Amino acid sequence: MSPTQTLTESGLQRRIKLHLHAKPQLFFAVCAVGFESILEQEIRGLKEAIIVQVVDGGVEFSGPFHLIYEANLVLRTAVRVLLRIQTFVACSYPELFNKSCRIAWERYAGLKPLLGFECSANTSRLHHTDNIIKTVYDAIKEIYGDFGINPNQSDMPDTSFYIRMSRDQCTISLDSSGELLYKRGWREAIGHAPIRESLASAILGYAECRKFSRIVDPFCGSGTFCIEAIHSLIHHAPGLNRKFAFEKWPSFQEARYHYGQKKIASQEMTASAVSVVGSDISKAAIQAAGENGQRAGVSKWVSFTQSDCVESLRKNGGRDMLVVSNLPYGKRSLDSGEIGPLYRTFGQAMKDNMKRGSRFALVVPDESVSDLLKLPVSKLIRFMNGGLPVKLIMGDL
Ligand SMILES: C[S@@+](CC[C@H](N)C(=O)[O-])C[C@H]1O[C@@H](n2cnc3c(N)ncnc32)[C@H](O)[C@@H]1O
């Protein structure tokens, strides 16, 4: 097909400035189901963000285009941030094709489009995800054909589009994060059943970790809770040491991004009044936690020691403390019969050693074994961790 329009780099940049940089945009931050209120709080803390709606698994918000840089750099509980492109009704493939042809794809994918697609569909007339992707891709080829450009699909795309069909509504978004945001770049050493960094952060936020003078994780594994707690206490932005998908966008404003990055880095504090302690019975886990702590730059604020959980509580007990932990579970641990006695003695040790003003926030299996802790649970959130149904139980002692 011969081109019917010319598109130069400078022409494209003019369109991007006019339609993307100069206009408010809509974003969607994705988080673990159950922790949306913590993500919402975080987004309220972004100066230029306006919350649009909170839905299961995420928060929609609006603001200037460059807000997407800050969101990726600072949000602790989000796993991905999307730029919303278009939402429309599509009840048939021709309708999906025609409406997709109205999108100015070149603003998002540039002059050398290397594209990837993710699609989900539910309760819609169009529900075959491969066909939905094919139809949208055909529309993209049609639009690029006008400029004499051939787009390519790739497993390592520069631009990834997310297509969601729900109740016949098609929402097309652009992924700005790339690798999921819980990958902060510091966790190379992994222990048994680690918790995602974003989930650990959400739990710390939910437990209001800033209110306590001491934070203890007696089953610290690779040290996730302790490291995330310190980063939050010293205002260390989780995304400072990693790359994002938006850095490959034609609309990427490199100078503006680096300016924002420096400003965010300069807000980091050099001291924390809260003592953070991690312990684990496994020598290998403590070694991994120490290495991770070093990579995360928090070694001077955290102590990781090898110890049984009961011993750890005896040593670190006191007032105004937060015990936050991901307890041992999983089929192997449950079947071995060791879990029952462990939960019983750990629950008792908490009641004996955590004094006035203390709180617990524990991730435990979603099974009755957690009753053996005999703790006064006031809040409960069910979620999945590592493919297993678990629950967060929280309460004050
Ligand atoms: C589910 S893992 C914790 C994972 C951790 N939150 C992370 O992100 O890496 C449970 C940990 O409990 C430890 N553990 C098991 N029994 C223990 C005990 N009696 N005292 C202390 N730690 C114990 C295991 O070595 C394991 O590292």
pLDDT band of 270, cuts 50, 70, 90? confident
| Rg, C-alpha atoms of the chain | 24
Q: Hey, what are 264's tokens?
A: 């965010």
Task: Calculate the CA dihedral of residues 34, 36, 37, 42 and round it to 10 degrees.
Answer: 140
Q: Is 257 a residue whose pLDDT tops 70?
A: yes
Give phi and psi for 383, each to the nearest 5.
-160, 180
- Three-state DSSP class for 269? coil
- Looking at the chain, the domain(s) classified CATH 3.40.50.150 span 197-233+270-396
Q: Hey, what are 322's tokens?
A: 């937060």
Distance 198 CA to ligand 1 centre (A): 19
Into which CATH architecture does domain 197-233+270-396 fall?
3-Layer(aba) Sandwich (3.40)
Q: Which class is 9-175 in CATH?
A: alpha beta
Q: Is 84 a residue whose pLDDT tops 80?
A: yes
Q: Hey, what are 280's tokens?
A: 């684990």
Q: Ligand 1 atom closest to Cα of 310?
A: 20
CA atoms in the 13 A half-sphere facing the CB of 387: 3
* pLDDT for the residue 331: 62
Q: Which amino acid is at 298?
A: V
Nearest to 207 by CA among 23, 37, 359: 359
pLDDT single digits (tens) 150-170:
999 999 999 999 999 999 999
Strand order through the sheet with 388-396: 302-306, 275-280, 214-217, 321-326, 359-365, 388-396, 379-385
Distance 241 CA to ligand 1 centre (A): 27
- Looking at the chain, the domain(s) classified CATH 3.30.2130.30 span 9-175
Q: Hey, what are 338's tokens?
A: 């060791």
CB 3 within 8 Å of CB 147: yes
pLDDT single digits (tens) 196-228:
999 999 999 999 999 999 999 999 999 999 999
Ligand 1 binding pocket (C-beta < 6 A) is 191-195, 218-219, 221-222, 224-225, 280-282, 285, 308-309, 326, 328, 342
- Best probe residue, ligand 1, of 219, 224, 338 (max atoms within 8 Å of C-beta): 219
